[in-house]
Amino acid sequence: MEFWLVIVVIVGVSIVFAVIKSQQLKEAKIAYQAALAKLTSSPGDNHLRVAALEAGRRYADLARKAAGSKGRAIFDEVALSNDLNARSGATPSTSADVKKCSQCAELVKRDARVCRFCQHKFEIAA
């Protein structure tokens, strides 16, 4: 009888944690959407941009954990950057402003000395 009681308690606690995680994910999504809406209304405000980025990272992290993954993926950061640029009216860099990393093939700023994706060090032209 005690065995079944322990099982019932464990299942009950698991359900409570799942509900809490689901609620946290919903709240993070709402906070991210609200932060993007504020950024849309004041696209030049860097504080709002940072707040939206932080809210987006929290939402992405919780969504990734809910899916069973850990850490942060590059495509999370790219998606957040795209959202923020779209809301703030920023234009993407022109091809003259970027170069392709020879190590990982990601686009980085032309003046970059180190790739922000793979930490490849670029040779500096003399």
Taking the C-alpha atoms of residue 55 and residue 62, their distance in angstroms, rounded to an integer, is: 11
Q: Judge if 27 and 14 occupy the same domain.
A: yes
pLDDT of residue 96: 66
Angle, to 10 degrees, between the axis of helix 74-88 and the axis of helix 2-41?
A: 40
Taking the C-alpha atoms of residue 29 and residue 26, their distance in angstroms, rounded to an integer, is: 5
Q: Judge if 66 and 99 occupy the same domain.
A: no
Residue 26 has pLDDT above 80, yes or no: yes
The mean pLDDT value of the chain amounts to 81
Nearest to 110 by CA among 21, 51, 101, 70: 101
Q: Judge if 58 and 100 occupy the same domain.
A: no
Q: Quote the pTM value.
A: 0.54
Domain total of the chain: 2
Q: Judge if 85 and 100 occupy the same domain.
A: no
Average the pLDDT over 70-94 and give the result: 69
Domain boundaries, position 41? 2-91
Average the pLDDT over 69-75 and give the result: 67
- The H-assigned helical ranges of the chain are 2-41, 46-66, 74-88
Angle, to 10 degrees, between the axis of helix 74-88 and the axis of helix 46-66?
A: 140
Q: Judge if 64 and 112 occupy the same domain.
A: no
